[in-house]
Chains A and B, each alone.
Chain A
Amino acid sequence: MNLTGMIHLFLFPGMLFAIPAGWFFVWGEHKAVARMQRRIGPPLLQPFYDFVKLTGKSTPSRHGIEADLLRLYPAISVLSLIGAIALLPVIPDGRGFSGDGILMVALLELPSVCFILAGFTSGSIFGEIGAIREAVLSVANNLVFLLAIVSVAVTKGTFSLSELAAPTWNPGHWIGVLGILLCIPAKLRLNPFSSASAEQEIYSGPLTEYAGAALGMWNLAHGLEWVALTGLVTVLVLPVGGPWWPHAILFVAVSFAEVLLLSAISAATARFTLKRSIRFYWEWAAVLAVLAITSSMYMRFRS
């Protein structure tokens, strides 16, 4: 790995930036929901306090392979998300490789797989119900998510993220970005697609049996998911070119605006049942995704 690669992985937009940004976005989510409910909401450092407190707590003693697996899943989630964030072409410098968009999609999918496996491994009935719901939701939203990403890729004829990041006036690109934005609530388990971690029905779903540092890692993974998914939309809509620092500031500002928007939607809506979530993605959102992919293919053949 060369020096730029190291900087991207460890400094910006990788670990050193992504972890505080994840906490900041989680704070933004809670604060936005609180303001929507006319509350004051948590202090700025609350996600950090929660993380440190959870790290310092003891955990129930478990033995055997389950114990190792339950510790491994949140770690895999955090690492894959840091990898996904490091791949984001926030500063357009022509790095990356052909097909890093496919790697990005795979890395974004790993936390969801780990979440499902954690639910089944924990052996809790709430965990299993949550895992089944997450699996079904993941199948539902990934149809739209993948079609949307493919339609964005078709407009450019490549899966290289640094080339995808330069927006054009092709309608396929913008409908595709809208499709990705529609899938974010399901990927982050926000209302109205929060049935996998529905706290009034199944406690915390797959995380019910988690405690201490491993739970803290899951919360961190949730923050990093915010950064990765809003960051993906942000790099697809921001124009490229110019010096790096206005880019970095604009990246954080636009991502945070998306956090506020999605949190406001989550505070304003009630939870869909699983059936209605699937219907939403496979009927309404799928129409949008098919429209995106046909328009980008049409524009490609016309040019």
Chain B
Amino acid sequence: MNLLERLLHKCRRKSPWIFHLNTGSCNGCDIELVTCLSPRYDVEQIGIHLEGSPRHADIICITGPVTRNTLEAVKTVYSQVCEPKAVVAIGSCPASCNVFAGSPVIEGPLSKHIPVDVYVPGCPPHPDAIIAGIARAAQILADRGVPEKKKGELQK
């Protein structure tokens, strides 16, 4: 990779802007995600920034088991985030539908509809785990922006 590509790789890793999407969550994971922005966890230290518009975001943080009403929103928001992008599924609901599994109004799990990069398990997960998940997603996002033939140089 040349110098510019290396710089872009580093900057993508250092500046993950997230968009939070609730797909019918019980609000438990949402509270834990918002806790990450608080003085105790302060995710701004690693460049994480909660954005209001999906157009500005790099990482979509999805909570909830994907209800029938929110399915279209998930697809729309996923298409509105510009490449390169990554998806973090927060909590047990997007991974397995959790206690809502089998309900006729649940369209989950999330991976049936959009590709998921990182699962953060827990009901709800600890804020530290969420931050670790977003940091992992930022790494995946940065690697995804690298052209396929140059991926081998990343390990160097």
A residues near B, CB below 8 A?
Answer: 30, 34, 37-43, 45-46, 48-50, 52-53, 56-60, 126, 199-200, 203-204, 207-212, 215
B residues near A, CB below 8 A?
Answer: 7-8, 10-12, 14-15, 17, 39, 42, 44-45, 47, 49, 51-53, 55-56, 58, 80, 82-84, 145
Q: How far is the CA of A204 from the CA of B82 in the complex (A)?
A: 17
Q: Does A46 contact B15, Cβ atoms closer than 8 Å? A: yes
- Least CB distance, B122 to chain A, in whole angstroms: 24
Q: Which residue of B lies closest to A215 (CB)?
A: B56
| Contact partners of B53 in chain A: CB under 8 A | 126, 203-204, 207-209
| Contact partners of B55 in chain A: CB under 8 A | 60, 208-211, 215
Q: Does A43 contact B47, Cβ atoms closer than 8 Å? A: yes
| Contact partners of A211 in chain B: CB under 8 A | 55-56, 82
| Contact partners of B49 in chain A: CB under 8 A | 50
Q: How far is the CA of A52 from the CA of B145 in the complex (A)?
A: 13
Q: Does B45 contact A40, Cβ atoms closer than 8 Å? A: yes
Q: How far is the CA of A290 from the CA of B126 in the complex (A)?
A: 56
Q: Does A203 contact B52, Cβ atoms closer than 8 Å? A: yes
| Contact partners of A37 in chain B: CB under 8 A | 39
Q: Which of B12, B39, B52 contacts A204 (CB 8 A)?
A: B52
| Contact partners of A60 in chain B: CB under 8 A | 55, 80, 82
Q: How far is the CA of A38 from the CA of B15 in the complex (A)?
A: 21
| Contact partners of B17 in chain A: CB under 8 A | 50
Interchain residue pairs with CB less than 8 A apart (9): A34-B42, A39-B39, A39-B42, A41-B45, A42-B44, A52-B8, A60-B82, A208-B55, A211-B82
Q: Does A58 contact B56, Cβ atoms closer than 8 Å? A: no
Q: Does A49 contact B47, Cβ atoms closer than 8 Å? A: yes
- Least CB distance, A185 to chain B, in whole angstroms: 21
Q: Does A46 contact B52, Cβ atoms closer than 8 Å? A: no
Q: Does A56 contact B145, Cβ atoms closer than 8 Å? A: yes
* Interface of A: prevailing SS: loop
New A-B contacts (14) at CB < 8 Å, excluding given A204-B52, A209-B53 = A30-B44, A34-B42, A37-B39, A43-B14, A49-B15, A50-B49, A52-B8, A53-B58, A60-B80, A126-B53, A203-B53, A204-B51, A211-B56, A215-B56
Among the interface residues A57, A204, A209, which one has the most CB atoms of the partner chain B within 10 A?
A: A57
Q: Does B83 contact A42, Cβ atoms closer than 8 Å? A: no
Q: Does B15 contact A53, Cβ atoms closer than 8 Å? A: yes
Given A50-B15, A56-B8; A42-B45 close (CB under 8 Å): yes
| Contact partners of B47 in chain A: CB under 8 A | 42-43, 46, 49-50
Q: How far is the CA of A56 from the CA of B44 in the complex (A)?
A: 21
Q: Which residue of B lies closest to A203 (CB)?
A: B52
Q: Which residue of A lies closest to B81 (CB)?
A: A211
Q: Which residue of B lies closest to A31 (CB)?
A: B44
- Least CB distance, A125 to chain B, in whole angstroms: 12
Q: How far is the CA of A45 from the CA of B11 in the complex (A)?
A: 10
A-B pairs with lowest CB-CB distance, top 10: A203-B52, A52-B11, A211-B55, A39-B42, A49-B14, A49-B15, A53-B11, A53-B15, A49-B11, A56-B8
Q: How far is the CA of A30 from the CA of B48 in the complex (A)?
A: 13
Q: Which residue of A lies closest to B44 (CB)?
A: A42
| Contact partners of A30 in chain B: CB under 8 A | 44
Q: Which of B8, B14, B56, B58 contacts A46 (CB 8 A)?
A: B14
| Contact partners of A212 in chain B: CB under 8 A | 82
- Least CB distance, A46 to chain B, in whole angstroms: 6
- Least CB distance, A91 to chain B, in whole angstroms: 32
| Contact partners of A200 in chain B: CB under 8 A | 52
Q: How far is the CA of A208 from the CA of B53 in the complex (A)?
A: 6
| Contact partners of B45 in chain A: CB under 8 A | 39-43
Q: Does A58 contact B44, Cβ atoms closer than 8 Å? A: no
Q: How far is the CA of A89 from the CA of B131 in the complex (A)?
A: 46
Q: Does A41 contact B15, Cβ atoms closer than 8 Å? A: no
Q: Which residue of B lies closest to A59 (CB)?
A: B82
Given A210-B56, A215-B56; A52-B7 close (CB under 8 Å): yes
